[in-house]
Structure formats: structure tokens, C-alpha cells
Amino acid sequence: MNIKILGPGCKKCKKLEENTKKALGELGLEATIEKVENMEKIMAYGIMSTPALVVDEQVKFSGKIPSVKELKKYLQ
């Protein structure tokens, strides 16, 4: 599984990364996590508000920080 966290590296982006790692751990899944901070690359996904989560090149959500419970649904 390849996960990308899209955002400028702000506090919200870091929280999303933390929650994503926790959700992966609780599910017993392994994934490559990549942070994408380049605005041109972020806009290429059609994202207008950050942070955003991309799983295997599919945008799962943007503009909010989901809870660990919500993230587990996106990652299963």
C-alpha cells in the first residue's frame, strides 16, 4: 500500500500523518508513507484544501483530519 499525505507540512498535516501511522498499526498493515509538500504536485490531484490523503493513487479525502477510527475505514 502506498499512502501520500498532501499538504504544506503544517500542524494539521503532521497530525494526519500521526493518525495514519496509528491506524495502520492498529490494523496490522504496512505501507509506504510519502509526504507531498509541492503545491504543483498537490494540485495535480485536484486538491483544493489540505491536508489530504491519497491511498494507492486514489484521493480518499481532503480538507480535514479524520480520526484514527475513520482512517481505519479508508485503509481496510
**Is 13 tagged catalytic?**
yes
Q: Are 5 and 17 in contact (CB under 8 A)?
A: yes
Q: SS3 of 36, please?
A: strand
Per-residue confidence (pLDDT) for residue 9, from 0 to 100: 87
pLDDT tens track for 14-70: 999 999 999 999 999 999 999 999 999 999 999 889 999 999 999 999 999 999 999
**Is 23 tagged catalytic?**
no
- Which of 10, 29, 43, 48 is catalytic? The answer is 10
43: CB partners within 8 A, 6+ apart? none
What domains, with CATH codes, occur in the chain?
2-75 (3.40.30.10)
- Which of 3, 5, 6, 13 is catalytic? The answer is 13
